[in-house]
Amino acid sequence: MEKMKKVLKIIWDILKKVLMVILKILKAIWSVKILRPVIIIVILIAIYLYMQDEATLKEFDDFTWPTNELVNTIEKHNSKRGKVGYNYDKNSFTMDLLIGNKNDFIRYIEKNKKKGYDLEEEFDGQVYKAKNRNNNLLSLKIKYTNKASNYYAKSSMMTVTIKKEESKEEKEKQELEAKRKADTEAKEAEERAKKQKAEEEQKEKEKKEQEQKKTEATTNTIDPQFKKAMDSYESAMKEYSSFMKKYTSSSNPVSMMNDYNSIMEKYTNANNEFNKIKKESLNSAELAYYLEVQSRVVSSMN
C-alpha cells in the first residue's frame, strides 16, 4: 500500500511538472500578441474536430450482429458500436462499425481470409475486396484515415458489405429470361406498329373515300349562283328574241324605239355577264347546264 502511494505521488509530481512546463510555454506564446489569433484559431479548430468526433460517435448505438446465412459467412467483429445499413438476408448486407486503428482493420481482414474470403483479392490500403468459394463478394472499407501517419483520433469507421454473387446457372437463367422478355416486348412492339399502321391506312382510306364523295357531290351539283346567272341570261335572250320578232314585223317600228333601246341594254348586259363565265372552271353538271341553256337560247333566236 505504501509503495502504491509513493508511485502515485511520483506520477502526480511528474504530471504537475509537465503541466507547469506547458503552462509556461502557453504563457510565453500568449505574451507574443501576433501569435494570439493563431492560438485562438488552433483552439477553435481543436474544439470543432472534437465535437465532430463526438457527434460521429453518437450516431452509432450498441448493437448485435444480425444472424442470417450471408452474415454467417464472415468473421463477426467484436465491436459493440455500429449500425446496419441494409440487410436483405440472402442477397446483400452492409453495416458500419466503429473499430480501433489500422492494425485492427488489418487483423479483421486476416480473420476473414481464414473464413474463406481470399479469392480475387484487391487491397489499396483503404478498401479490401475478396470472394469466397460460394462466389460471395466481401468489401471492407475503412474511413477517417490519415494516410500520412495511419493515426485515428478516437476510433475509425469500417464499412462491411457482403453481396451474394449469382451462380453461372442463375446468370444463364436470368439471361434467358431477359432474352425471352426482350423478344416478347419486341414482338408486342411489332404487333403494335402493325396495328397502328393498319389503323392509319384505314383512316387514310376513309379520308380518301370522303374526299371522293365530296368531289363527286361537288361535280354533280350545280352552284345556285351559277344557275341563277344562267337562268337570268336565258330569260333576257328569250325576251330579246320575242321583242325582235315583233319589232321586225311591226308596220311602225319608230314607235317601238324606247322599248327597243331598253331591250338592247338588257341584251348587252346579259351577254357581258354570260361572257364572264369560264367554262374550264365549271364542273360536269354545271357545264351540261351551260350547254343546255346555250342550246335553248340559240333555238329561240331562230
pLDDT at 101: 80
> Do 36 and 101 fall within a single domain?
no
Considering its fold, how many domains does the chain have in total? 3
Residue 27 is assigned to a structural domain of this protein = yes
Q: Within a domain: residue 243?
A: yes
Q: Does residue 101 share a domain with residue 28?
A: no
68 lies in a domain?
A: yes
21 and 81 inside one domain: no
Give a yes or no: residue 204 inside a domain. Answer: no
- Enumerate residues 6+ apart whose C-beta is below 8 A from 53: 153, 154
Q: Residue 61's beta-bridge partner residues?
A: 82
Residues 76 and 152 in one domain: yes
pTM of the model: 0.41
Q: How far is CA 192 from the centre of its chain?
A: 23
Please report the pLDDT score of residue 82 as a whole number. 80
Contact 99, 78 (CB under 8 A): no
Q: Are residues 27 and 69 in the same domain?
A: no
**118: in domain:** yes
Based on the fold, state whether residues 65 and 161 are members of the same structural domain.
yes
Q: What is the pLDDT of residue 150?
A: 43
What pLDDT is attached to residue 53?
57
Asked if residue 49 and residue 34 are part of one domain, the reply reads yes
112 and 160 in a single domain? The answer is: yes
Residues 50, 175: Cα–Cα separation, whole Å: 52
Which residues lie below 8 Å from residue 68, measured CB to CB, with a gap of 6+? 87, 89, 90, 93
Asked if residue 259 and residue 239 are part of one domain, the reply reads yes
- Whether 198 is in a domain gets the answer no
Domain boundary residue, one of 165, 196, 216: 165
Are 70 and 54 in a shared domain? Answer: no
Q: Where are the alpha helices (DSSP H) in the chain?
A: 2-31, 36-59, 102-114, 168-219, 224-249, 257-275, 284-301
pLDDT given for residue 9 in this prediction = 74
- Encode the chain (302 residues) as per-residue pLDDT tens digits: 666 777 677 777 787 777 787 777 777 766 767 767 777 777 777 676 656 555 556 666 677 787 788 888 999 988 877 877 766 556 788 888 888 788 889 999 999 999 999 999 999 988 999 999 988 999 999 886 444 444 444 457 788 888 887 666 767 787 888 889 988 899 999 999 999 998 998 898 888 888 777 766 566 788 888 888 889 989 988 988 888 888 888 888 888 899 889 989 998 998 888 888 888 888 888 888 888 988 888 888 87
Please check whether residue 32 lies inside any domain of the structure. yes
**Which of the listed residues 165, 184, 209 is the one where a domain comes to its end?**
165
Residues 161 and 243 in one domain: no
Tell me, yes or no, whether 94 lies in a domain. yes
Contacts of 135 (CB under 8 A, 6+ apart): 164, 165, 166, 167
Separation CA 126–CA 41 (nearest Å) = 31
45 and 102, same structural domain?
no
Q: Return d(Cα 247, Cα 203) in angstroms, integer.
A: 65
Cell 325582235 sits on residue? 244
272 within 8 A of 212, measured Cβ to Cβ = no
The confidence score (pLDDT) of residue 10 equals 77
Residue range of the domain that includes 259? 224-301
The pLDDT value recorded for residue 143 is: 80
